[in-house]
Structure 1
Amino acid sequence: MARINDVGGMTGFGVIDTSDDAEPFHADWEARVFALQRALLVKKVFNLDEFRDAIETMPPQEYLAASYYERWFHAIRTLLERKGVIEPGALDHA
């Protein structure tokens, strides 16, 4: 079963922008999400397979509406809740 992130070969998604972006982050919160993900990986709170799965199992409407780092934040929040590190909903309005 294909997940929403697996859109290879599908039509209707428009042209893919392959130009390089000089800035790795477009907002401070994106850099913080990146750093948080790295820190949690180093501390072995979750691994990359779990992180990728948490992104790939996002509901299709949410996945398509989210930016790259919004997907990362969703995965971090999902995994921290799933593993009991934070209470469910604790980061819903973060």
Structure 2
Amino acid sequence: MARINDVGGMTGFGPIDTTDDTEPFHADWEARVFALNSALVREGVYNLDEFRDAVETMPPGEYLAASYYERWFHAIRVLLVRKGVVAEGELAEGDLDA
């Protein structure tokens, strides 16, 4: 079964922006999400395969509307609940810039 992230060969998504972006992060919250994910993987809370799966199981509408690091943040929240680190509903989507 194809997931929404697997759009190879599909039409209707428009041209791909191939301009190089030299900035790894465009907002402070993106750097924090990157660091949080790195720490959780390093501590063995989850692995990269589990992380990728959590990103890829986002509902299609949310996935397509989300930025790269918004997808990461979603996956982190999903995995923290799956692993029992936090309870369902304990983490609100909230303001990522806070």
TM normalised by structure 1 equals 0.96
**Partner in structure 2 of residue 58 of structure 1:** 58
**Partner in structure 1 of residue 37 of structure 2:** 37
**Partner in structure 1 of residue 9 of structure 2:** 9
**Partner in structure 2 of residue 81 of structure 1:** 81
SS at match of 1:53: helix
Query: Gaps spanning 5+ residues in structure 1: where?
Result: none
Query: Gaps spanning 5+ residues in structure 2: where?
Result: none
* Identity value in percent: 78
Aligned: 1:25 with 2:51: no
How far did 1:52 drift? 0.2
Aligned Cα root-mean-square deviation (Å) = 0.8
Per-residue CA deviations over 1:41-82 (Å, capped at 9, x if unaligned) read 000000000000000011101100100000000000000011
TM normalised by structure 2 equals 0.92
How far did 1:90 drift? 2.0
- 1:76 and 1:29 map into 2 onto residues whose CA distance is 14
How far did 1:24 drift? 0.6
How far did 1:93 drift? 3.2
**Partner in structure 2 of residue 68 of structure 1:** 68
Tell me the amino acid that sits aligned with residue 52 of structure 1: R
Tell me the amino acid that sits aligned with residue 55 of structure 1: V
- 2:38 and 2:25 map into 1 onto residues whose CA distance is 15
Bigger RCO (CA 8 Å, 6+ sep): 2
How far did 1:22 drift? 1.5
- 1:18 and 1:10 map into 2 onto residues whose CA distance is 18
